[in-house]
A and B are shown apart, each in its own frame.
Chain A
Amino acid sequence: MVAVQKRKPFLACRMLFVMFAGVAASCSSNPKNDITTVKRGLTGVSDQHSSGRPTPMSTREALEFMDQNCFECHGPGKPLAAAFSMPAREILLKDASWLDGSALNQTAYQALVHKHLKKNDSPSAMPPDFKDANQAKKLPNLIAWFQDSLPGAVREAEIKFGTRPEFRSNIEVQLNTKCEKIITGWDFQNRFMSRALGRQINPLEPFERDLLSESEKNAPASAEVRKKVVDVLLSRDDLKKKFEDVAVVGLAQKIANVGAIGVNGKTVEPPLPPAAVEDLQSEFAQLVKANYEKVSYPQLFLMNKVMVTSNTAPLYNSVAGEVNALPQPMQEKYRETCATPAAGTWAECTLSAKRGNFFGTRGFLVSKPTAMFQSNNNYGRGGDTHQVIFGEVLMANTDGVSGEKPRPIPQCLEVTADKRWFVKKKGDLSSERSAWGAIAIPFYGRVCQGCHLNRHLAAASVVFRPFGFSGEIIFPRMMNSANGNPVKVYADMNLIQPVRANNNTPDDRTHITHTDSSATEFKFIDPAFYRQLLEELDNSEQATCFPDPSDPLNMDKAKYANDLARYADILIHQNDTADTPVKGVATVRGLTRFLPSTFANTNSTNIEIIRDVSAAFSSNDGLLLPMMKAYFQTESFACSGR
């Protein structure tokens, strides 16, 4: 046993993802930036608010406030840009579209509310310091501006963090979305055909040429014209087929992140046959194409099906010897047999319960090659899951500030034995150490908790555990075998550091485990420890949990999971209420970010797209086609870029 030094407060947070949870870093104020005009933006109408409600700032005042009080920490290249990023000043001060497009605007709003209420809660109160006392007095006016100008963000914050009587934004808001210049009907038809059908109009083809009247062609594309173009073109079988091949597949390829699957010289390790890698790139697109008109968009991620070819079917066949060696109740959970289809064809196959859904497919897993044996510890896969569902990119920050003293860890998360830390200096057990394990990182600091608790990366680390770097299933018994032990295989490939055979004596092995910073005892990691981690999932349906965000320490409100099926189900349905007409609404948020980035040149979305796609989701049983049509019919898609 070796004594462990207590870690110092505010140490860098290592081997983890960091998100906006709030940090008490000091933001120094900036000199006032002179802006003469704000050409675009949101205009609050202050004289229409009920008495007693703070007068909302103007957009210009709000942007200046954020510039002066937030930019120094969250601007480009600033210390907390990874947690919540603000653009360069010229963009920041131009209009509020950058904030509208930010996936974290609801967290920013809540941080301001906490600051005003002097509430020590998550996300941490922001800003830590004001430029001057007068600025502090203006905070309620900024909050009122948020309520008027970014009502969606406010509503989302209230759903996520609960409402506050002091800031209940119970005003009815009427949004008028407006594009300054809409392209003509003809250009709209051409734009839609290009981006959704993969080719331009053929003006010599009468059907395409005469779809719109001359006046419709030459006038700005009205809502009726946009609907007519989209509906009429997609009513033709040949063009609908083209739409599937170009737009539906293109969207699915982006969601599946196929660019990260072993292309352009990138390797897949452990190696997979090149033909299999190529087919894995189309795996999800094939599933979407086959089901998008009969299965709701959220269900596409939850269905226990995968599309396979003759090249990929063998990747979904369990190792019979390993399955049969499992305790009887476990065997069915691990067993999977995908029949091999004829060469060049795709066939549907049922996933094992262990894989569960899209997030357990080889395509998804191999797009983010990680494993429990390395420092990333499947956090990347958790981050990708979050991005697929919510469209929010969790930014890796393995060496940034860790924030204030961590909040208490929900008891239900502490059931895992994954409390790994490692020492930075090889063999020196008194050297600086960094958190690694699922429950070690949240002990590190509040910033770390922002992702690892609030965005459920700790839970992700647990449920993704049974999968190796290229998505292969790791059976518990493998950890005891001399041949095929993944620890040895990966170490031989230099994917991970070697792991000792037993935990008898300290040497140059650097992985250690203990509970938290106050612990004085630890042990080295060995294969038996990894087997213990794998068996946690098989032995308990409460291997990990999702604490209720409004009451995280109340275990009665927590939801439990021990596999990907349950994990994804909880995430995808987390915004549903009893009154939600179509379940799985959380996925709409992700879709409304993937649509513009697939079909326009922006990664951000806006309230019009969110509103119209959301409406299509609710009134069409969550089917993808009506949501895509709704997007193509927005003013945003028809807005002139020049």
Chain B
Amino acid sequence: MRKLLNAAGVCALVALAAACSKKSGDTNVNVAQGGSSGAKELSKQKISRFNYFLGAPGFLVKNSEILRGSINECLQDGLLAIKPEMISGGGGEGRKAILGQNFQAAAGRSDIIEVLAGDLYDPMRVSRVDTAAGYLTLTYMGALATVADVVAWNCNFNSPDSRCDCSTEEKAKQILQRCIPAYSDADVGPLAGKFAAECSVADVAKKREILAAFIASATFAELR
């Protein structure tokens, strides 16, 4: 009994599963309860069984770290840079600029996600009571659309080793597989054809729009 009580002392909630016997192959554990101060010992021990249903963590929105990793894996590194010609008034494409003048100070920086991290749930700037992001917000979607525009702008669709090219069904399928690995082949198949059909336009600006729309979508933002 003494041994049991000692075990109990280190075996429940905070007081830890050191002496808890965990059966192999399942998640059962014996939580022996008892006390050592002033308690009468019972001659019999009873076992009570009950099921404990776990709450699900739910799906999450990609935080800025996961988003960066996803874009790098999905397309390629180096697509997050902010170039002066992307910015309104910065030259280059004039009215086709994708960033407002408030991005002037960010011109030349290599990572649009870092610039917008606060709007994209930055895990490196969390507070102790925060939880991981569980829902989409307009702020998030707006920031994601900006990131997507920058990524698509930086894509070189004509390079033979470009991973941005979505103009054939096979390439579109690869992008979908890389970008949303949670999708099964059955999910990807029908989407790839539609994606490729949209993407197979000669106009680079249009191509960018289509790719950006995909990256900015809720599907891309959420994790299952």
Contacts and interface: CB of A to CB of B under 8 A. Distances in A.
Do A and B pair up? The answer is: yes
Interface of A: 40-45, 48-50, 95, 97, 106, 147-149, 151-156, 158-159, 162-165, 168-181, 183, 186-187, 190-191, 194-195, 197-204, 223, 246, 249-250, 253-255, 257-260, 263-264, 281-282, 384, 387-388, 390, 393, 550, 575, 577, 579-582, 585-586, 588-589, 594, 596-604, 606-608, 610-612, 614-615, 617-619, 635-637, 639-642
A274 to B, nearest CB: 15
Contacts of A50: 42, 44, 46
Contacts, number: 346
Contact of B177 (A204, A259, A390): A204
A172 B74 CA distance: 51
A603 B130 CA distance: 8
A46 B72 CA distance: 56
B176 to A, nearest CB: 10
Nearest to B1: A170
Interface of B: 6, 8-18, 20, 22, 25-42, 44-60, 62, 65-66, 68-70, 72-74, 118, 123-134, 174, 177-182, 223-224
Contacts of B177: 203-204
A171 B33 contact: yes
16 contacts: A48-B46, A149-B50, A155-B13, A162-B37, A191-B224, A198-B66, A198-B69, A199-B66, A200-B180, A254-B127, A259-B127, A581-B10, A600-B131, A614-B13, A635-B27, A641-B224
Contacts of A97: 55
A258 B124 contact: yes
Contact of A155 (B11, B38, B74, B131): B11
A641 B13 contact: no
Contact of B33 (A154, A165, A606, A611): A154
A176 B36 CA distance: 26
Q: Which 4 A-B pairs have the closest CB atoms?
A: A199-B69, A163-B35, A152-B13, A601-B134
Residue of B11, B27, B130 with highest tally of chain A CB at under 10 A: B27
A633 B12 CA distance: 19
A175 B29 contact: yes
Contacts of A612: 17, 27
A608 B45 contact: no
Contacts of A599: 57, 132
A495 to B, nearest CB: 22
A179 B56 contact: yes
Contact of A253 (B11, B69, B126): B126
B69 A601 contact: no
A55 to B, nearest CB: 12
Given A200-B69, A618-B18, A639-B55, A579 B12 contact: no
Nearest to A637: B57
Contacts of B25: 223
Contacts of A393: 129
Contact of A176 (B9, B52, B123, B128): B52
Nearest to A604: B55
A204 B16 contact: no
A600 B223 CA distance: 11
Contacts of A610: 13-14
A40 B55 CA distance: 9
Contacts of B131: 596-597, 600-603
A180 B55 CA distance: 9
Contacts of A48: 46-49
